Structure 1
Amino acid sequence: MLNFPLFLSVTLSILIAIIFMTRKDRNAVNRWLSATIILTVVFQSIIFYIISTGLLHEFWYLFRIGCPFYYLTPPLIYIYISLILKKERKSLRHYLLHIIPFAISVLDISWYYATTTSAQRISEILEIQKVSSAQIYLGAGFLPSIVHYYARFIQRVYFLGLQWLLLVKQNATSKLKSAELKWAILLTTVQTFIVIGYGFFTAQIFRFNTTRVTDSFDAAKETSITITLLGVITICLYLFIHPKILYGVLKPEPRSGAKAKSKASETGQYDWLPIGIDLQDCCSRLEQLMLVEKPFLKGKISLSIIANELKVPVHLLSAILNKHYGKSFSDFINEYRIQHLLTRIKEDSNWDQFTLEGIAIETGFSRTGYYTAFKKLTGKSPGTYLSELDTDPQPITPQLQ
């Protein structure tokens, strides 16, 4: 009954994982996180297929290997949604806290394999194939197997609650109803149905544990698996129908009745911005760096140096300068150099004791580059500008583009 949806979900998931891993976009963290989530689900599905077809005794070395991955999927999905909505990265320590249950499960499985022989594991597998409900007791490491069923349900509900809180908050504060918000809502909605299905199965485990009634145990398990597979298929089809998400290019869409803050959002110039990137935050940090650290004063400055200071990919910074500011890197840097040079001339009463070339070199220009940049950004040659200062005590403010 489940062979076709299982085959379809695994096939679609593998295709999407390959696309995520091979596509060329600037946000490597999100795309590899997406691929990891999908491959984790694929691995769980393959393990289920082996169990459901009665082949587990031939692959006894895979017995309970999938258990830790059930703990891995919920926090990875939460981290993924947090990154694409909040567009900020927290410390590695913060993320590692989310995978503590996964680490404990790995240790539990390791203990089980270290303390049992292959013959014992095969014996337990054969017993589970005869009596399905035996799986909640057999295959235990230092933790009883039934603990994992309850713990996984609690963990799923916990992270699902965090996701909905994040979505409600984002929906209330966001000025744009973006494609990434819609995608996050769909992903969390599907996950909600999956958790409800698993909750039904967990309830039957509790019922069996207290009453020893097994009449609905297999049906509950099959229902939970069916909902999971249908959820995976839904997500995969949604991604294929919305290639902008799949290929990492999302365009913010203004809400009805709301005015976009910038011309860029109105004209669609955000098409180039990768998912999970906060343009306003990047620009704010870039301008703060230029005003406070003044890296443009260094003679040897490059796009990669600035990108490294901001901790963003070089190609992303280049795209922001070209698409958002409408400038090349050299023009962007030269604007700050010229403005700094003119500010120094204006504030230093002894400016006439220095040559403009000398001041220019101190602001990071080469001996030949400052003349062209000065005239391009002020509309005047350095000599003309200085002569006007001699006759007019108020220096002309350059009209920087």
Structure 2
Amino acid sequence: MSHDSLLFNIHDLVLVLAASQYVMLAILLLVTRRKGDISVCLLAAMLLITAVQELDTLFIWSNTLRQAVLNWHPNLLFLGSFSYWLQGPLLYGFVASVLYKQRPIRKRYLLHLLPALIAGVLLISHYYVLPRADKIAAMADLAFMWTPLMTHFMTVWHLSVLAYGGASLWLLWHYRRQLLERYANVEVSERRWLLWVVLGFMFIALWKLTVHLLGERVGEGLSNILGIASHYMAFIFVNALVFISIRYTHLFGGLGAEPTGGEPEPYKPEQVTRVSEYMHTDKPYLSADISLELLAKRLSLPERTLSRILNQHFGKNFFEFINSYRVEQTKHLLKEPDKQHWTMLQILAESGFTSKSTFNAIFKKQVGKTPSQYRKEQGL
């Protein structure tokens, strides 16, 4: 994946620009972050080590720069290699800290640093302890990069990013399930932008892994093109991150800790009756900000008990339970003759919904037709 012989060709400049933007975005996030915001710190750290990786790639694969570094100080090569193994853990830690604002940092998390330490020891024993002349000989024609050590090093690194990315996706899936158990308007608390951040890092890692595994099998020319394409992907991705950080970092709030206290006591028929009567008389579902926590307080019930009543007695999670009442309220409004001049936005707002897409999807799922179709069938 060697670059052209010019000191900085256009492909190298793209790599330098991407690294510069990663650094500038990290600094911007740190300067503007709220006090104690661990999410921003983790994202900034991830951006900084990604910048180090981009520069490390430039120094190794650019023939002219590599020769210059070898002549000046060969130990400067691979100085960023330790950071490769931090990208996955930092990505997972960032996702977890955004989703769960009260998630504690435990000492056992330090075990995620072990691969970086092992990689450092291996590089010291196989490269840094060599005499200067041997280092130059090993890297002058990139022979060291094709040794079993470095081949496995690069393969496992990319796989680790994909593994942590997969764990982050699972965390996002689990988080959404919790939202459905605790909120009625999940679009307010969803972190869909976070999904694209994870997928972006995973896609670039997968691309680089594919290029690495194909290697000489596809010929030097095609291999170089595929490798250079990853630089442009990094450049596009960091610009997307700039947009995301500007638009969404104010959402780094996260979900509070899950209700604790062990296994809840079995609920009583009186508690079920209390829930049903309150829903019909006070109509809390008309409030857009209703949540499991808020409803439990109003009913003087533990959150876990209320959650169990909804799941076991009514057979619904909180999201389904609240929105079933909202659908009934919508049907009632659509049948009212004096509401025929109301727009669908007015109808959904008066029913407790906050999103038109969620409103249409839930109504069609429960009724089998869209709100507009339902209104037409009323013949009013």
Q: In the alignment, what sits opposite 1:220?
A: 226
Distance 1:10 1:228 in 2: 9
Shift of 1:53: 5.8
Equivalence for 1:9:
18
- Equivalent position to 1:162, from 160, 167, 170: 167
Give the AA of the match of 1:20.
L
How far is 1:160 from its partner? 1.4
The one-letter code of the counterpart of 1:144 is L
Deviations 1:100-152 (A, max 9, x none): 21111111122234420222212222212xxxxx45325xxxx7111112211
Q: 1:21, 1:35 within 8 Å by CA — same for their partners in 2? A: yes
Residue in 1 that maps onto 2:30: 21
Equivalent residue number for residue 149 of structure 1: 154
Q: Which residue of 2 aligns with 1:116?
A: 130
Q: Which residue of 2 aligns with 1:346?
A: none
Q: Which residue of 2 aligns with 1:399?
A: none
Post-superposition offset of 1:186? 1.9
For the pair shown, the structure with the greater C-alpha radius of gyration is 1
2:64 maps to 1:54 = yes
Identity of matched residues, %: 17
Deviation, 1:195, is 2.4
Specify the SS of the correspondent of 2:191: helix
Q: How many residues align?
A: 247
Q: Does 1:32 align with 2:38?
A: no
Cα deviation, residue 9, structure 1: 2.0
Runs of at least 5 residues in structure 2 that lack an aligned partner in the other structure = 1-9, 256-285, 295-301, 303-380
Please name the residue that 1:42 is paired with: 51
1:97 is paired with a residue of what secondary structure? helix
What's the secondary structure of 2:35's corresponding residue?
coil
Q: 1:260 and 2:289 equivalent?
A: yes
Higher-RCO chain (CA-CA 8 Å, sequence separation at least 6): 2
- 1:172 paired to 2:170: no
Deviation at 1:4, TM superposition (A): 4.2
C-alpha deviation, 1:7, in angstroms: 3.7
CA 1:11–1:63 in structure 2 vs 1: closer, same or farther (change >3 Å)? closer
Distance 2:89 2:287 in 1: 34
2-structure distance, mates of 1:2, 1:180: 37
The answer on 1:70 being equivalent to 2:84 is yes
* Equivalent position to 1:204, from 185, 194, 214: 214
Alignment of 1:190 with 2:204, yes or no, is no
User: Which residue among 101, 105, 118 is the counterpart of 1:87?
Assistant: 101
Q: Distance in 2 between matches of 1:127 and 1:67?
A: 19
Instruction: Give the 3 Å change call, closer, same or farther, for CA 229–99 of structure 1 in structure 2.
Output: farther
- When residues 214 and 56 of structure 1 are mapped into structure 2, their CA distance, relative to the original with a 3 A threshold, is closer
* Structure 1: runs of 5 or more not aligned: 129-133, 266-283, 285-401
Q: In the alignment, which residue of structure 1 is the partner of 2:311?
A: none
SS in 2 for 1:2: helix
SS of residue matched to 1:55: helix
User: Which residue in 2 is equivalent to 1:374?
Assistant: none
Counterpart secondary structure, 1:82: helix
> Equivalents in 1 of 2:205, 2:211: separation in Å?
10
In 1, the alpha carbon distance for the partners of 2:172 and 2:254 equals 18
Q: CA RMSD in A?
A: 3.3
Contact 1:72/1:102 (<8 A) preserved: yes
